[in-house]
Amino acid sequence: MFLIGLNYWSKGGGPLMWRFFNEEVVDKELAQIRELGVDVIRAFVYWPDFQREPGKIDEEMLRRLGRFLDLAHKHDVGVFLTFVVGHMSGENWDPQWKGGRDFFELRNEVKTLMETVVSRFRGHPAIRGWILSNELPIYATSSEERVTDWIREMSSLIKSLDGAHWVSTGDGCWGIMGAFNGFNPYRYRDYVDYMGPHFYTPDTDAFRHTVMPQLIIKACRGLGKPTILEEFGASSTLGSDEHIAGYYRVLLAGSLVSGAVGAWGWCYSDFPLTNQRPYSHHPHELRFGVTTVNWEVKPQGNELTRFSRLVSTLGDVEPVEDPVALLIPSYVYWSYPFTSRDDARRISAALLASYSMLVQNGLNPRVIIEEPLTDNVLIEGGKTRIGGDVKVLFLPCALRYLAQTQEEVRRFVENGGVAVVSYCYGFWMNIDWAIKLDLYYNYPITADGLSTVVDGVSINVPAMGYNYDRAIARVSGGEVLLKDSMGNPVIAYSNVGAGRVYFITYPIEYWLSMNPKPFENHDAHLIYSLILRREGFNVQTPSKWVQVARLKSARYNYTVYINHSWSDIKINVNGINVESGERINGEYVIKGKDYLVLRT
């Protein structure tokens, strides 16, 4: 089941809604939320109002919360209740009694809050789950060990009181791709029931902008947990509602095909609270709603309704992922001695470029998370396994992978797998067992860019960055699959055991990651296409802009087309339009930032 959700504060008070609780307004809001097709809302406990004294929870606030839950149940809206707020919409909020004390020293006080609320409402039919905080890294952080221990203790407390509902953190999962903010999803994954990324990242490339959340979702799923896109959205101050509706369309469809079990927009309503903090100093926060202060439904709200109907028609579906995987090194989310956070950011950017090129080739790739090392000096054996039916493994700009993982990659290849490795100056990937590199020690061979031709299409990608970022590799071994305009190898390959290794001599993914419009202006995905076709994959797509993904249910197979461009694109398709019931056989115009789902 895919949970369509909204983050919720009443327009009658925002974070102060409990202080100014207006039951009539809340009742009307919840009725409208259900009419939009929304299954669940993420609601919040405003900490300063609920816990006015360290060891006591305000009884009137609890009564109002109970009435709120009654109204949610009345309208068949489930509630995921968030505790520590904490941070909200551009300001941090302390209870008056907190003083200058470190948040993580207040465990008993926070446990009082959670224990009281969970004990009181664990059996309420509106409750669907518990969330520890809202973006706590912005409010309070510490070492990974201390933060993880706090999550373990709070989650264990809630589960001891209520074993029937999900528990998660609410931190945004920013640590999965190199945030290093103390909240490491790998460390706390055993203490939560789902991962909940929050996503508001801007981008200058239209394709990369809306495919990016899919990689984050898959990275979270790679930790072995269901994943909900817990927050996404945009303020009407920062974009037109028509274009924000397109953003909603593509992120909702993208969440479904990338395997999320829900997506929750931020937020239900605009606010008329110009004289109330935080909106008075962060006025764009007034207009994140899918409805207006006058109860009008914005275009993005209509998209929730449309998607709700689609999900209802599809029933229980799951994405079909191709046997092609992207390997995320643990250096992205794990701090090793004498390694750089800059490396983590470079790797993350290259991974996104690689993922984007795989999608442009019509694939729905898997994501494998490299398991980190233990703290022991001597390690018994590697934990990362490249199993299942993975046939091709991509290691883009292979700057940092553990020695044990490299041995696992070698075994994978010898047993019949295919590894695609691309060069980046200073990389620690040992591949001389497959391809011989002709490199100078600490002396880069630099280039101004890549110029080559694939299938009659010219590919010209400028070198990006400075000095070492522009380094390329030379090879003295293997067969050549593609050359640049000067006749130098771009792709070399070598058979190893029952498998193969392809080596891309240019840091193409990294250059693309630094380019402001890499997928709008370049066709570098065709470089991947050469390799994939040679390995038996049908990578024909209707357009480089249109993602093609498959879903399956117990009865039907579906094909999803997602247009990541802002412009309309003509494609040729064959199947029954799930939304209209009409058969389409031939040309179809898919609108900018829109999707089409066919039963095939």
Residue 139 in 3-state DSSP? helix
CA distance 273 to 266: 17
Binned at pLDDT 50, 70 and 90, residue 587 comes out as very high
Task: Reply yes or no on whether the pLDDT at 178 is more than 90.
Answer: no
User: Which one, of 509, 457, 452, 460, lies nearest residue 486 by Cα?
Assistant: 452
Binned at pLDDT 50, 70 and 90, residue 306 comes out as very high
Task: Reply yes or no on whether the pLDDT at 436 is more than 90.
Answer: yes
- 512 contacts 518 by C-beta, under 8 angstroms: yes
Work out whether the CA dihedral 330, 336, 338, 340 comes out positive or negative: positive
- Give the pLDDT confidence of 146-157 residue by residue, as tens digits: 999 999 999 999
Task: Reply yes or no on whether the pLDDT at 382 is more than 70.
Answer: no
Binned at pLDDT 50, 70 and 90, residue 166 comes out as very high
CA distance 309 to 315: 10
Binned at pLDDT 50, 70 and 90, residue 387 comes out as confident
pLDDT of residue 533: 97
Among 5-9, 91-95, 117-121, which is the least confidently predicted range?
Answer: 91-95
Whole-number percent of the chain with pLDDT over 90: 91
Strands (DSSP E) contained in 390-522 are: 392-395, 418-422, 445-446, 449-454, 457-462, 471-472, 479-483, 489-496, 499-504
Mean pLDDT within 264-268: 97
pLDDT of residue 235: 97
- Give the pLDDT confidence of 33-67 residue by residue, as tens digits: 999 999 999 999 999 999 999 999 999 999 999 99
Pairing, β 499-504 against β 489-496: antiparallel
- 413 contacts 496 by C-beta, under 8 angstroms: yes
Residue by residue, DSSP assigns 197-230 as -EE----SSHHHHHHHHHHHHHHHHTTTS-BEEE
pLDDT of residue 213: 97
Say which CATH topology domain 3-314 has.
TIM Barrel (3.20.20)
Binned at pLDDT 50, 70 and 90, residue 377 comes out as confident
Task: Reply yes or no on whether the pLDDT at 283 is more than 80.
Answer: yes
Q: H-helix or E-strand containing 5?
A: strand 3-7
- 191 contacts 156 by C-beta, under 8 angstroms: yes
pLDDT of residue 234: 97
3-state SS, one letter per residue, for 37-77 = CCCEEEEECCHHHHCCECCECCHHHHHHHHHHHHHHHHCCC
- 529 contacts 518 by C-beta, under 8 angstroms: no
Residue by residue, DSSP assigns 529-594 as HHHHHHTT-----S-TTEEEEEEE-SS-EEEEEEE-SSS-EEEEEEEEETTT--EEEEEEEEPTT-
- Give the pLDDT confidence of 125-147 residue by residue, as tens digits: 999 999 999 999 999 999 999 99
Mean pLDDT within 173-191: 92
Instruction: Determine phi and psi for 366, rounding to 5 degrees.
Output: -90, 165
Mean pLDDT within 497-520: 96
**Tokens of residue 237, six digits:** 């101050």
pLDDT of residue 381: 67
- Give the pLDDT confidence of 211-231 residue by residue, as tens digits: 999 999 999 999 999 999 999
Mean pLDDT within 187-216: 96
pLDDT of residue 563: 98
Whether the model pTM is above 0.85: yes
CA distance 372 to 175: 14
Specify the length of the chain in residues.
600
Please give the mean pLDDT across all residues of the chain: 95
CA distance 390 to 409: 12
Task: Output 432-435 pairs: Cβ under 8 A, ≥24 positions apart.
Answer: 433/496, 434/478, 434/494, 434/496, 434/501, 434/503, 435/475, 435/477, 435/478, 435/492, 435/493, 435/494, 435/501, 435/503
Residue 12 in 3-state DSSP? coil
CA distance 468 to 424: 9
Binned at pLDDT 50, 70 and 90, residue 551 comes out as very high
Task: Reply yes or no on whether the pLDDT at 384 is more than 80.
Answer: no
Q: Which amino acid is at 194?
A: Y
pLDDT of residue 378: 74
Task: Reply yes or no on whether the pLDDT at 119 is more than 70.
Answer: yes
Distances (CA, A) of 232 to 148, 268, 445, 501, 549: 25, 12, 42, 39, 22
Distances (CA, A) of 564 to 248, 252, 462, 520, 543: 12, 12, 23, 10, 10
Say which CATH topology domain 324-534 has.
Rossmann fold (3.40.50)
User: Which one, of 193, 68, 69, 89, lies nearest residue 134 by Cα?
Assistant: 89
- Give the pLDDT confidence of 344-372 residue by residue, as tens digits: 999 999 999 999 999 999 999 999 999 99
Binned at pLDDT 50, 70 and 90, residue 22 comes out as very high
Binned at pLDDT 50, 70 and 90, residue 385 comes out as confident
Whole-number percent of the chain with pLDDT over 70: 100
- Give the pLDDT confidence of 503-513 residue by residue, as tens digits: 999 999 999 99
Pairing, β 583-590 against β 569-577: antiparallel
Say which CATH topology domain 546-599 has.
Immunoglobulin-like (2.60.40)
**Tokens of residue 434, six digits:** 């497959």
CA distance 503 to 473: 10
pLDDT of residue 564: 98
| Cα-based torsion angle of the residue sequence 140, 146, 148, 149 in order, rounded to the nearest 10 degrees | -120
**Tokens of residue 547, six digits:** 């993602």
Residues 6+ apart with CB under 8 A from 219: 176, 177, 328, 367, 369
Mean pLDDT within 375-380: 74
Task: Reply yes or no on whether the pLDDT at 112 is more than 90.
Answer: yes
**Domain-wise residue ranges, the chain:** 3-314, 324-534, 546-599
